[in-house]
């Protein structure tokens, strides 16, 4: 049980915080994304930090406060097109570059996020 988790591997809560803040900075400026997000992303970022912490094997912060993630269901109120999934992944990839996350840990993390993002698609492009 002392095995290193992806969460520890990428640098723990400090790196998650930097990554998520940088990511939402990118989202705010993305023409395909900002229209479907709230203007104030403070609470969104707080939940995303909790979620990604547990996604990477860290403490189950999201579930402790909000219950089962059910992320696809929680995204149904928002039109997630294939274009928006790619935009989300692009904002994340750039955020990873910006915080200097690289190597196999980044690649595994990004691969899992790619699957999750595609799973979130709930409507077609016009
Ligand atoms: C919430 C968009 C993919 C995790 C949200 C919200 C939007 C959104 C609009 C609501 C923000 C708010 O009202 O606070 C998108 C789009 C995606 C995407 C366009 C493209 C595929 C993902 C992925 C993950 C994720 C891949 C996780 C790996 C979350 C979490 C929340 C959230 C944890 C907060 C849920 C809550 O309210 O408890 N997303 N999302 N999203 N998203 Fe996404």
Distance CA 71, CA 75 (A): 6
* Domain layout of the chain by residue ranges: 19-69+81-120
Distance CA 52, CA 13 (A): 10
Instruction: Express each pLDDT in 31-57 by its tens digit.
Output: 999 999 999 999 999 999 999 999 999
> Does residue 117 have its Cβ closer than 6 Å to ligand 1?
yes
Average pLDDT over the chain, rounded to whole? 97
> Does residue 24 have its Cβ closer than 6 Å to ligand 1?
no
Mean pLDDT throughout 107-113? 98
DSSP character for 68? Answer: S
pLDDT band at 1 (very low <50, low <70, confident <90, very high): low
Instruction: Report the candidate in 15, 2, 81 with the shortest Cα–Cα distance to residue 49.
Output: 15
Ligand 1 atom with the smallest distance to the CA of 74 is: 35
The answer to whether domain 19-69+81-120 has CATH 1.10.3720.10 is: no
Instruction: Express each pLDDT in 72-104 by its tens digit.
Output: 999 999 999 999 999 999 999 999 999 999 999
In this predicted complex, what is the ipTM?
A: 0.98
């Amino acid at each position: 049980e002392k095995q290193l988790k992806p969460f520890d591997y990428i640098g723990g809560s400090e790196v998650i915080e930097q990554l998520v803040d940088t990511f939402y900075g990118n989202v705010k400026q993305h023409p395909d994304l900002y229209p479907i997000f709230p203007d104030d992303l403070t609470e969104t970022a707080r939940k995303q930090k909790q979620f990604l912490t547990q996604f990477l094997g860290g403490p189950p912060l999201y579930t402790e406060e909000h219950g089962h993630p059910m992320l696809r269901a929680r995204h149904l109120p928002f039109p997630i097109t294939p274009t928006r999934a790619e935009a989300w992944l692009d904002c994340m990839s750039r955020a990873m570059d910006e915080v200097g996350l690289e190597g196999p840990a980044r690649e595994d993390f990004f691969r899992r996020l790619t699957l999750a993002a595609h799973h979130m698609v709930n409507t077609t492009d016009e």
